[in-house]
Structure 1
Amino acid sequence: MTKLTRLLTGVATAAMILAGAGGASAAECIAPADPGGGWDFTCRTVGRLLYDLKIAEEPVQVTNMPGGVGAVAYANVMSKRPSDADLIVATSTVGVTQIAQGKYPADTDVMRWIGMLGTDVGVIVVPKDSPYKSLSDLMDAYKKDPASVVAAGSSGAGGWDHIRLLMVAKAAGMEADAFKQIRWVQFDGGSPAVTQMIGGQVQVVTTDLGEVAGFVESGDIRILGTLSDEPVPAFPDAPTAKSQGFDVTGYNWRGFYTGGEVSDADYQKWVDTMKKLYDSPEWKKAAEGSGLVPIWRGGAEFETYVGEQAEQMRQISKDIGVM
């Protein structure tokens, strides 16, 4: 066999592998944010476990596509890859909130919603040397001067991270008119927001615990309050907002959607694949180690849930004055 023949044979073999023998091909997961955030964690952790547990035959390719808090990826899938059965996109309550507020190019019905595998817990964090030692300290500062503390998160003004801060402010007795005076900075992910906070650009960050758990473990930041019913097992000493007199919870589920024109059979394959992963002890360990609470909703039940949550987010946004 000549070198040229061997080369052509190798190219043909590689092409068959990429195309997938028997119709199978490597899956791709789009993380609609920069590396290091919650959506990136969702894609990379799920992709790694699918391959390690031999649920997927090929490694899952992760593509970071930041922009518009997920709107760029949503538009890309809707316009260019609506029937791509090998494509999934990481999303969460943050994305659905943006959709509900009209910040995406279309409503939830243009995609097929596969399932959620867990929920992240909202947290309000400050640098380790912050003068604010509790949520009451922070809320007192806001009530005295709403513009005195610059806050940040991974969503824009009126997005889920912002809404969670305003929900605590509302529970603290602030009026909706004062909400507009709170200065808010958006970053593409909780990790970049915390990095800027440590650098002194902002004073407080509202985000998901899973995105910033490493900063908490290293001692660079402190949790003023977790927006959960009970203390988070991974950080049992972190006080809840409820324990400090603020009756607020702010969960952020983690899950996936695929294109709206994907066939019923291919859609169901993804639902079954994610359910198989969810049932594995490896997923439970990975989720809980990152501050996630494992919860499963999939298929038709999940699609209904997403539609209902979008409507709830629209109403909450109106109630607190951001719509």
Structure 2
Amino acid sequence: MRLFAFATVAALGVLALTGCTAGDTGGDTGDGSDAAAVTDVPIIVPADPGGGWDQTGRAMSSVLTSEDIVNSAPVTNIGGAGGANGLAALANETNPDTLMVMGLVMVGAVETNASEVRLEDTTPIARLTDEALVIVVPAASEYETLQDLVDDILENGQDVTITGGSAGGADHILAGLLLEAAGLSSDEIASSLNYIPNSGGGEAVSLILGNNVSAGISGVGEFVEHIESGDMRALAVSSAERVEALPDTPTIVEEGYDVTLTNWRGVVASGSIDDAQRNALELVVTEMHDSEAWASELETRGWADAFLVGEDFDEFLTDNIAEVQTTLKNIGLVA
């Protein structure tokens, strides 16, 4: 099965994005003000330091301030529950210029955590990046190939431990899709997959480097330095083609499993902001995206440019939520 988190997908249902009215992304915000009125943009990272959301939030903060797009862009980490804690904090935020980093991980975590506050309650601003995931093992692992890892899970089930980001997030979904491609039913996946979630990428790295888990899954950018140092062994990447940062690592498809999944990230604002406030934030983020400094961040971190704003991002998010709901049921991660 293939789950494309970045491609445009067919609508699987209509989900109302409450508080999310698409606005004009032109220069005038509609009330006589413009993006220049946005001078400070607090950024909520709904995870502990060290992971992809944290990297994204801090890259945004650096570019927004170094390019003089805003005066300040302080980052606040609010970890836990796959981003649901950060989502709840955004719902109570009174500053209309506050942005929260989110993405595919949060789409899944909202479902598995049965979060009271949902992404439909926010205002989508922009999709920013897209990144392949990589399946790794500790350097001393007996697994030399992805087939070795899958065979051991099929034989020994929950004795094989896999760590990654939050429950129901992209890493967890990829593990489930891999076992589905290996021939397991949703019930068999639920009984065989021993997935250890974390609230930040740093925790997963510690578990893998400490040889406390059998394998790990995360974005390439979070593991690449440990792969290059020889402390981790990369078994496969989840993109359709090999990634530039790990040219010798095969894709999951090359390893014989029909699975492709990429992890997109973006930003949303409070669901209570009006059209003018939304337009102003869209202009700020668009100016950041169009800068050479942001292009440099993408290249340095190995992120693909996946920029969408306005109605295009609204439609993408609606479809992605429906797609993830279906996938999580198919692989037994939610009832």
Q: How does 1:243-282 map to 2 (within 5 A)?
A: 243-282=254-293
Name whichever structure is richer in helix by fraction. 1
Q: Confirm or deny: 8 A CA contact 2:49 2:201 kept in the other structure.
A: no
Please state if 1:49 is matched with 2:60. no
Aligned partner of 2:45 in structure 1 is 31
Of 66, 77, 84, which aligns to 1:71?
A: 84
Aligned partner of 1:87 in structure 2 is 98
Q: How does 1:2-21 map to 2 (within 5 A)?
A: none
Aligned partner of 1:165 in structure 2 is 175
- Give per-residue Cα distances to partners, 1:226-277, cap 9 Å, x unaligned: 0001111122112111111111112111110110011211211221222222
> Unaligned stretches of 5+ in structure 2?
1-35
Aligned partner of 1:16 in structure 2 is none
Distance 1:96 1:24 in 2: 28
SS at match of 1:297: strand
- Give per-residue Cα distances to partners, 1:102-133, cap 9 Å, x unaligned: 53223322100111111121111111121111
What is the one-letter code of the residue matched to 1:184?
Y
Aligned partner of 1:240 in structure 2 is 251
Q: Confirm or deny: 8 A CA contact 2:153 2:192 kept in the other structure.
A: no
Aligned partner of 2:303 in structure 1 is 292
Higher RCO (CA 8 Å, separation ≥ 6 residues): 2
Aligned partner of 1:317 in structure 2 is 328
Q: Confirm or deny: 8 A CA contact 1:108 1:307 kept in the other structure.
A: no
Please state if 1:212 is matched with 2:223. yes
Of 203, 207, 215, which aligns to 1:192?
A: 203
Q: Confirm or deny: 8 A CA contact 2:38 2:281 kept in the other structure.
A: no
SS at match of 2:192: coil
Aligned-pair CA distance for 1:288:
2.8
Aligned-pair CA distance for 1:214:
2.4
Distance 1:71 1:196 in 2: 23
Q: Confirm or deny: 8 A CA contact 2:65 2:73 kept in the other structure.
A: yes
Distance 2:229 2:275 in 1: 45
SS at match of 2:258: coil
292-301 vs 102-111, which moves further = 102-111
Q: Residues 309, 100 of structure 1: CA spacing in aligned structure 2 closer, same or farther, 3 A cutoff?
A: farther
Aligned partner of 1:174 in structure 2 is 184
- Give per-residue Cα distances to partners, 1:276-296, cap 9 Å, x unaligned: 222223222212322211111
- Give per-residue Cα distances to partners, 1:149-202, cap 9 Å, x unaligned: 11111112x433111111111112233332122212111123311211211221
The two structures have a TM-score, normalised by structure 1, of: 0.87
SS at match of 1:243: coil
Distance 2:268 2:38 in 1: 19
SS at match of 2:101: strand
- Give per-residue Cα distances to partners, 1:133-153, cap 9 Å, x unaligned: 111111111111112311111
Q: Confirm or deny: 8 A CA contact 2:129 2:306 kept in the other structure.
A: yes
SS at match of 2:126: strand
Distance 2:121 2:328 in 1: 22
SS at match of 1:284: helix
Q: Confirm or deny: 8 A CA contact 1:101 1:314 kept in the other structure.
A: no
SS at match of 1:214: helix
The two structures have a TM-score, normalised by structure 2, of: 0.84
Q: Confirm or deny: 8 A CA contact 1:210 1:290 kept in the other structure.
A: yes
SS at match of 1:117: strand
Aligned partner of 1:116 in structure 2 is 127
Aligned-pair CA distance for 1:211:
2.2
Aligned-pair CA distance for 1:23:
5.9
Report the count of equivalent residues. 298
Distance 2:153 2:256 in 1: 16
Q: Confirm or deny: 8 A CA contact 1:31 1:43 kept in the other structure.
A: yes
Distance 1:159 1:60 in 2: 26
Aligned-pair CA distance for 1:91:
0.5
Aligned partner of 2:72 in structure 1 is 59
Q: Confirm or deny: 8 A CA contact 1:227 1:249 kept in the other structure.
A: yes
Q: Which has the larger radius of gyration?
A: 1
Aligned partner of 2:17 in structure 1 is none
Aligned-pair CA distance for 1:25:
4.0
Distance 1:113 1:200 in 2: 39
Q: Residues 103, 161 of structure 1: CA spacing in aligned structure 2 closer, same or farther, 3 A cutoff?
A: farther
> Unaligned stretches of 5+ in structure 1?
1-21
27-36 vs 269-278, which moves further = 269-278
Aligned-pair CA distance for 1:218:
2.3
- Give per-residue Cα distances to partners, 1:14-44, cap 9 Å, x unaligned: xxxxxxxx96542210111111111110110
Q: Confirm or deny: 8 A CA contact 2:45 2:78 kept in the other structure.
A: yes
Distance 2:312 2:188 in 1: 38
Distance 2:169 2:103 in 1: 12
SS at match of 1:145: helix
